[in-house]
Structure 1
Amino acid sequence: MSNPPSPVPAPIAAILVIGNEILSGRTQDINVQFLARRLGALGIAVREVRVIPDVADTIIGTVNELRARFDHVFTTGGIGPTHDDITSPCVAEAFGVPWEPHDESMRQLEALFGPGEFNAARRRMATLPRGAVPIPNSVSVAPGFTIGNVHVMAGVPRIMQAMFDALEPSLGRFEPVRMVAVHAERLGEGALAEGLEAIQHAHPSLDLGSYPFERPDGRRGVALVAKGTDQAALETARQALRALIAGLGREPIDGEPAP
């Protein structure tokens, strides 16, 4: 049985994607979508996403900036065994603590690789900022870690997802972020803009957006989406979105448009 939502205000989060391979276009990031959805289900709203290179000063400065502004910072990438995997020592520097071998992580990785195979490069993956709490990794053993409000995870999606599964119970559960959507065909954003702005002003606790769509079968139109934690406000906004579309002579259809 899952824990009930906490009565305290919901935290906000930032995601920090670290890696030259993302910025160069060599690798397509899919971790942000996974984290945003899973955090939203916990009631933790993602308010910012950054993508930065494997540059020490940039990592240190960005970690310090974001951890001061957000309740949680989730980083992905840069904790492997190679020379460009510098996230872990940079996070140690950001917190002003030594980067040192973590005894239990060393034992686990040494047992995994065996005598003679646990070389200096692999030892990097068991070297953590002092005081960090390892995030278990059921895929490849090498841990992520949490220090303060910063959660450092792998960039490889299946490993990152395994780490998040292990981390998730410690994050708490708050009123989840919910979404309602209404769409219409043969309707453009320009016709909706003024009315949508008025609905947003009437519901400041919600995030409203409009998203044009075009489907292979020729269907075109726009989807209007409201997100928030107040179920009553979401329902009121949904009705207002439907009325807006109907007032423009189009049929409002609940939900997202079919693919």
Structure 2
Amino acid sequence: MAASVTAALLVIGDEILTGRTKDKNIGYIAEYLTGIGIDLREVRIVPDVEEEIVGAVNALRQRYTYLFTTGGIGPTHDDITADCIAKAFGVGIDHDPRAVAMLRERYQPDELNEARLRMARIPHGADLIENPISRAPGFRLGNVFVMAGVPSIMQAMLDNISPTLQTGARMIAETIDAEGLAEGNYAEGLAAVASSHEGVSIGSYPSFSAGGFRNQIVVRGKDPAAVANATLAVNDLLRRLKGDRAPL
């Protein structure tokens, strides 16, 4: 089996923590990375505070294969992510001629003011991440990928960097509907199944709709045989609990 490739996501911005902006990137990035064989292991949200960002970057980039960040690379005074990345790596930062050229593709000379030029300040040694929507680039330094917070731009950036990423085995997931059974009925048996099947994770996820409660059990893993065996064990547990009253 391929070695595990791991990642963390650092979401940067006061607006996320105050609730003014509802984050739409976490779920997208989690699903995207899972789909290409990268395990998203941790997500942190930090304010626009230098020491918070620098500390989180240095902790997460050492712990995981990759660190992705969103937010804080715009033209305003509180967009400090690029400076914080430079500080975390101990490198300088300045207007990057490549980034300036990209901005000139969008803005007329009289429009490219100092505020907009902030978006061309890139830490020394970083590679640029192309932004086909607004042209202001993200960048990669080491194993850290710095992307925009605007969902459409972030998604375009993620598509651009995806081919450069090392990936591992993809996660396999099997969903089993626990029809008519409450979690309390199968919790003990499910724990026994989980403990006896190494290499898989098993979770129970209740939801509520107009039709009432619905419980689903999800078996996840990267070994097809292990997932299949655990799924069979879960189905057998539910069948016994329901007394074969209904097909699974």
TM-score, structure 2 length as denominator?
Answer: 0.95
- Tell me what 1:65 maps to: 59
- Tell me what 1:206 maps to: 200
User: Pick from 109, 112, 117: which aligns with 2:106?
Assistant: 112
| Inter-CA distance 132–98: structure 2 relative to 1 (3 Å threshold) | same
1:174-203 per-residue CA deviation (whole Å, 9 max, x = no partner) reads: 321121010123222122221121222122
Q: Which runs of 5+ in 1 are unaligned?
A: 1-6, 254-259
- Tell me what 2:14 maps to: 20
Provide the secondary structure at the position in 2 that maps to 1:112.
coil
- Tell me what 1:135 maps to: 129
Q: Which runs of 5+ in 2 are unaligned?
A: none
- Tell me what 1:236 maps to: 229
TM-superposed CA distance for 1:44, in Å, is 0.4
Q: Distance in 1 between matches of 2:163 and 2:247?
A: 39
The residue correspondences of 1:1-259 to structure 2 (distance < 5 A) are 8-216=2-210, 218-249=211-242, 251=246, 253=248
Q: Distance in 1 between matches of 2:44 and 2:237?
A: 35
Number of matched pairs: 246
1:96 partner amino acid = G
Equivalent residues of 1:17, 1:77 under 8 A apart: yes
Equivalent residues of 1:184, 1:251 under 8 A apart: no
| Inter-CA distance 90–233: structure 2 relative to 1 (3 Å threshold) | same
1:103 partner amino acid = P
- Percent identical pairs in the alignment equals 47
Equivalent residues of 2:5, 2:167 under 8 A apart: no
2:170 partner amino acid = P
1:234 partner amino acid = V
| Inter-CA distance 159–252: structure 2 relative to 1 (3 Å threshold) | farther
TM-superposed CA distance for 1:252, in Å, is 5.9
| CA-atom RMSD in angstroms | 1.4
1:77-133 per-residue CA deviation (whole Å, 9 max, x = no partner) reads: 111001111111101100000111111111121232111111111111111111111
Q: Distance in 1 between matches of 2:197 and 2:50?
A: 42
